[in-house]
């Protein structure tokens, strides 16, 4: 079953709201109008009845009734829709103006002043019945005053008929206006839909302007524009990543092809073939490491890296790594120093790899005869490991990008080295974030430092 569109539903709701308001207003007006006319009739009948009772009260005998007829006719004959009937105590008709009406028996004997109504064929009557005491008479006369309210009822019937016709017309008009208003209000959403439908890799920079958008939808449009920005950034990084992968893999593949073609160009000794295979093995190992690193990053992006939760003494991990790198450092007269201590909870192999990447990176760019220092400091909430080395200052615009895959601040080192594919810092950041920490870089006055912040061992991991 197809659901109605939002525009149609809003139009119907608007129509129902208008119809409900008009119906309540119309019925209220009709009820109040009828009540108003009823009160006017009751007031007029009461005034006529009281005047008639006063005239009849001045009689001293029934024989004098003919003398007051002109006065009664002047009083009761002024209203063309009014009929007056006076009966004696025996029920004999004494007076009828302008003509007698066959009043139902139940209304002839009514002794109070309440207004009653009855309908005869197409005529509607409203009247009052009361008693009038005559001097010297034990039994009172009966006075019946009747209004012919047929025109009133006809007016209200016509009014009701036109009201329902007007209500139907108003409902249709309100539905049309509701559709126009809803359609106009939904225009920004349709614009968002068109932009989303036309979105492609080449149009991710398109944005929806906020100026013509209603205030209620600005948050939606702002969120959509922010999503486009994130998609654009992710697509650019993915495109660059793909290009970098192709660029990094091209060198070892080209080396493999060149070495193989050279060896196959003519018959060679067994030693030549062995040398070529060893050379090819180095390139294959480099490609294997690169593939392993990319798989690690892919798992990290999908939240598949789950570190162990064991207590780790950072000074022990860093001390072992410094011993490992000391031979390389001694070859270039570089000193390695360690200060401070701290403990965290996590995966020792992962943290070993992360700190190793930072030390390897520091050795690569530290001039000969300088010192690489590692400082560990800890408080109740966090432990911070800082690896600092002297060297060229990195420009501020490069600091945030250092942790992107295949990114190098110096374009001259784009090709890297056989052991460096430009993934080390990206892997380090993934490991630190998997441990619910963060990493950043500072560089000034010829010193560059990488800071790793991790939760202290006393804090429970979520």
Identify the structural domains of the chain with CATH numbers, from first to last: 6-170 (3.30.450), 215-301 (1.10.287.130), 310-455 (3.30.565.10)
Distance in angstroms between the alpha carbons of the first and the last residue of the chain: 45
Tens digit of each residue's pLDDT, the chain (462 residues): 567 777 888 888 888 998 999 999 988 988 898 888 888 888 888 888 888 888 888 777 777 788 888 888 888 776 778 888 888 878 788 888 877 778 887 787 765 557 888 888 888 888 888 888 887 777 888 888 888 888 888 888 888 899 999 999 999 999 888 888 888 877 777 776 776 677 666 667 777 777 777 777 778 778 888 888 888 877 777 776 666 667 667 777 877 788 788 778 888 888 877 888 888 787 787 777 777 767 776 776 666 677 788 888 999 999 999 998 988 899 889 999 999 999 998 888 888 888 998 999 899 889 999 999 999 998 888 899 999 999 888 888 888 888 776 666 655 444 444 455 567 888 888 888 888 899 999 998 889 999 999 988 765 544
Please say whether the dihedral angle defined by the alpha carbons of residues 98, 100, 104 and 105, taken in this order, is positive or negative. Answer: positive
Tokens of 173: 């008009």
Q: Which of 344, 364, 313 is nearest to 431 (CA)?
A: 344
> Of how many residues is the chain composed?
462
- Nearest-CA neighbor of 240 among 381, 359, 401, 382? 401
- pTM, two decimals, is 0.49
In angstroms, the Cα distances linking 454 to 25, 342, 384 are 69, 10, 6
Strands 343-346 and 371-378: unpaired
C-alpha 263/C-alpha 257 separation (Å) is 10
Instruction: Compute the chain's Rg from CA coordinates.
Output: 52
Cis peptide bond upstream of 41, omega within 30: no
Measure the CA–CA gap between 353 and 63, rounded to whole angstroms: 133
Closest CA to 207 of 188, 224, 220, 194: 224
367 DSSP assignment: P
CA dihedral 213, 214, 218, 220 (to 10 degrees): -90
**CB-based burial label for 150 (10 Å; 0-12, 13-18, 19+):** middle
């Amino acid at each position: 079953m197809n659901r109605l569109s939002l525009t149609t539903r809003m139009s119907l709701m608007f129509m129902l709201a208008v119809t409900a308001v008009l119906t309540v207003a119309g019925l209220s007006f009709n009820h109040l109008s009828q009540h108003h006319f009823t009160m006017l009739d009751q007031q007029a009948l009461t005034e006529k009845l009281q005047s008639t009772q006063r005239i009849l009260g001045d009689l001293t005998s029934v024989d004098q009734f003919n003398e007051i007829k002109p006065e009664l006719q002047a009083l009761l004959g002024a209203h063309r829709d009014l009929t007056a009937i006076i009966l004696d105590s025996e029920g004999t008709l004494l007076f009828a103006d302008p003509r007698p009406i066959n009043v139902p028996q139940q209304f002839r004997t009514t002794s109070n002043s309440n207004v009653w109504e009855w309908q005869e064929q197409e005529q509607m009557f409203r009247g009052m019945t009361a008693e009038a005491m005559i001097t010297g008479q034990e039994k009172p006369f009966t006075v019946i005053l009747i209004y012919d309210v047929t025109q009133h009822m006809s007016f209200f019937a016509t009014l009701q008929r036109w009201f329902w016709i007007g209500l139907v017309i108003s409902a249709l008009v309100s539905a049309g206006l509701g559709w126009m208003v809803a359609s106009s209000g939904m225009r920004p959403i349709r614009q968002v839909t068109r932009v989303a439908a036309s979105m492609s890799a080449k149009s991710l920079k398109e944005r929806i302007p906020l100026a013509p958008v209603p205030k209620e939808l600005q948050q939606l449009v702002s969120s959509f524009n922010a999503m486009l920005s994130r998609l654009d950034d992710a697509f650019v990084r993915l495109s660059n990543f793909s290009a970098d992968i192709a660029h990094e893999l091209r060198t070892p593949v080209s080396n493999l092809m060149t070495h193989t073609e050279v060896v196959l160009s003519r018959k060679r000794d067994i030693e030549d073939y062995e040398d070529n295979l060893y050379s090819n093995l180095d390139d294959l190992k480099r490609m294997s490491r690169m593939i392993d690193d990319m798989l690690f990053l892919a798992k990290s992006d999908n939240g598949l890296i789950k570190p162990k939760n064991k207590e780790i003494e950072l000074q022990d991990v860093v001390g072992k790594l410094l011993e490992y790198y000391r031979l390389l450092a001694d070859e270039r007269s570089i000193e390695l120093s360690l200060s401070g201590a701290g403990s965290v909870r996590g995966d020792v192999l992962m943290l070993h790899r992360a700190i190793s990447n930072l030390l390897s990176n520091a050795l690569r760019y530290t001039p000969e005869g300088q010192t690489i220092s590692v400082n560990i400091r800890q408080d109740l909430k966090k432990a911070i490991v800082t690896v600092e080395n002297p060297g060229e200052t990195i420009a501020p615009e490069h600091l945030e990008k250092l942790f992107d895959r295949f990114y190098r601040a110096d374009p001259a080192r784009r090709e890297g080295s056989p052991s460096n594919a430009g993934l080390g810092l990206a892997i380090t950041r993934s490991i630190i974030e998997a441990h619910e920490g963060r990493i950043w870089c500072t560089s000034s006055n010829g010193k560059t430092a990488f800071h790793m912040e991790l939760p202290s061992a006393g804090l429970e991991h979520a």
